[in-house]
Each structure stands twice: as structure tokens, then as C-alpha cells.
Chain A
Amino acid sequence: MEGDIAQLGQFIGAGLAAIGSGASAIGVGHVAGNFLAGALRNPSAAAGQTATLFIGIAFAEALGIFSFLVALLLMFAV
């Protein structure tokens, strides 16, 4: 058996951190889907809200990137 318990924990932790990326994907989809639902109800107001859409997506996405970063740190930096 090669490796040690620390490496095992490192890999398991990186895999668990990857769940966060999927969770943030759900969040981004939620933002975009709700925007589309609203935009189809009132298409004339949709154009003015694209900036808000991107800000919302960016905030949701940033948390997924954080978890990806944790996974990378566990794999390569620890």
C-alpha cells in the first residue's frame, strides 16, 4: 500500500470540494431560469435587467469557483 492517510484525506477532500462546483451550477441555473421566466412575462423590461442577471450569475458562480479552488489547493498545494 503506497501513500498515507494524509494523501487519502487529501483526495477525498478534493472530491468533496468538487460537490460545491455542482451546487453552484444549480445556483447559476436557478438565476438564469428565473430571469428567463420573468423575461418571457415582460419582454420589454428584460433588456434593462441583463446587468443584474450577470451580477447574480457572477455571485452564484464565485462560490463554486471557491470550492474548485479548495479542491486545487488540496490536490497541488497541501
Chain B
Amino acid sequence: MSGEAETHGEDALAATGADAAAAHGADAAHSANSGLQIHPMDQFVVHPLFGDGPIHWYTPTNVTLWMAIAVLLIALMMVVGTRGRAIVPSRFQSIAELAYGFVRKMVEDVAGKDALPFFPYIMTLFMFIVFANFLGLVPMSFTTTAHIAVTAMLALAVFLTVTIVGFVKNGTKFLGLFWVSSAPLPLRPILAIIELISYFVRPVSHSIRLGGNMMAGHAVIKVFAGFAGVLGVGAVAPIAAITAIYGLEILVAFIQAYVFTILTCVYLKDALHPSH
């Protein structure tokens, strides 16, 4: 009787154990899916600011909030900076003049003097990307430029602008961009196909370069933050690593904005002077 009870008990115990093992297995699978306690991709989740409803195109979300903050800060800096117009510039005026001069020199050097009508557009692009990148580095903020949806629209706008400008300024001569006249004649059709593909891949690489860089950097910071969370108080090495990566990210935030802008200038130069 007692033996039977014991076997029964053992059976129950085994069943519980198996249950626990199954539950543990499921848990392990889940944690294998999500990786760390702090999921490195959680910071990029788009959610509406008010309530939990579905996201329509007009829903105010954290993305639109941080884009609006970026635009407001740019407007504030430029308005305050250019209000005094002093001979000896104030701090804000120095920053505004520095940014203006930097982008203007870039447009002139890379795209040429006849690209200066497009300077306001390129300046807008540069300022928006710089501010969005740097605002993303503020703790607990949201990196709008880490979303390929955002950068793809920026890159697509550049692509359409450049293509339309090329056709308007040069007419059908713009197609000479794809016909490499310095190459031997039999090679030209092949090169034309390659040039055509590379032209249409431009917006893809243009957008993914910026979005991917931002996303990768912030994900790496979050991964190290996860290590620090696991180690607790004694997490000296992860915190030192986060500090170092943060410094690198400040550099990357500026360089990616610079690269995005300078590639826009290069594409614009191609559109204005399509001869090979």
C-alpha cells in the first residue's frame, strides 16, 4: 500500500519534474529567442504616445515626437543664432555660422557652384540628420534615424530630386550617365547595365547606411547594458565599454550625417554634369 503510494508519489514527482523540464525548456527557448533580459531591439519599438490603439499615418508616436523635437531645436538654434547678426558673434550665432559655412563649403567643393540653388535643401537634410542622430544619443530618448522607414523617405526624396533635376537640366543627355563613352564600344552595353543597376541601388544603400549604422550602434550599447544588468554592482568592464562605445557613437552620429550629405552632393553633381 505504502509502496504503491510511493510509486504513485514518485510518478507524480516525475510528472512534475517533466512538466518543470518542459516549462524550463520553453522558458529557455523563449530566452534564446529574446537573448538578454534587456532586449537590444526593444528601444526601437514604435508605440503611440496616447493609448494603445493601432498606428495610422496620423497617429502621434514616439517617432513623430522626437522628429518634432529635432525640428523645433533646429528652428530655435537658427532663429536665436541669426537674430542678433552681431559683428562679434555670440555662442549661438557662432554655431549657426559654423553649420552654414560647413555645409555651403561642402556643396561648393563637391557639387560645384551651379549646385548652390540646392544648398537650402542639403542644409535642411544635414541639420535634421545631425540633430536626430545626436538626440538619439540622449539617454531614454528615441533614435528616429535608426528606422529605415525614416531614412528611406529621406533617401527616396534625394533620389527623386536628383533624377528630376538631371532630366530637367540636361534632357535626354542625362542618359549619358549610363553610357560610358571612354570605354571600348563592345564593353559599353555591359557597363550601361551595371551603371543602371548601381543607379537604382543608390537610394537603398543611401538609406540603409544611415539607418543601419544608427541601429547597430544603439543595439551594441544596449547589449553591453544587458551585461551590466546581469553583473550588477561589480560591472566595471561593461560600463567602461559602454562609455567607450558611447564616445564612438558620438563620432558616428556626426560622420553618418556628413556622409549622407556628401553623397547627396555627389549624386547632385552627377545629375548636373552627367558626362562621363
Chain A interface residues toward B at CB < 8 A: 2-3, 51, 54-55, 57-59, 61-62, 65-66, 68-69, 72, 76
Contact = CB atoms under 8 A, between A and B. Distances in A.
B208 interface: yes
B208 A69 contact: yes
Interface in B220-264: 255, 258-259, 262-263
Contact of A61 (B25, B29, B213, B266): B213
Contact of B212 (A51, A59, A68): A68
A62 B25 contact: no
A65 B208 contact: yes
Interface string B125-148: 000000000000000000000000
B216 A65 contact: yes
B254 to A, nearest CB: 11
Contacts of B205: 59, 62, 66
A6 B110 CA distance: 48
A37 B263 CA distance: 24
Question: A interface, by DSSP: helix, strand, loop or mixed?
Answer: helix
Contacts of B209: 58, 61-62, 65
B216 A54 contact: no
B164 to A, nearest CB: 23
Interface of B: 25-26, 28-29, 32, 41, 106, 109-110, 205, 208-209, 212-213, 215-216, 255, 258-259, 262-263, 266
A51 B208 contact: no
A58 B209 CA distance: 8
Given A59-B205, A61-B213, 20 more contacts: A2-B25, A2-B26, A3-B29, A3-B32, A51-B106, A54-B258, A55-B259, A55-B262, A57-B259, A61-B209, A62-B205, A62-B209, A62-B212, A65-B208, A65-B212, A68-B216, A69-B208, A69-B212, A72-B215, A76-B41
A45 B266 CA distance: 20
18 contacts: A2-B25, A2-B26, A3-B29, A51-B106, A51-B110, A54-B258, A54-B262, A55-B266, A58-B209, A58-B259, A58-B263, A62-B208, A65-B208, A65-B216, A66-B205, A66-B212, A68-B216, A76-B41
B221 to A, nearest CB: 15
A54 B254 CA distance: 12
B263 A55 contact: yes
B213 A65 contact: yes
A64 B209 CA distance: 9
A65 B211 CA distance: 9
A59 B28 CA distance: 40
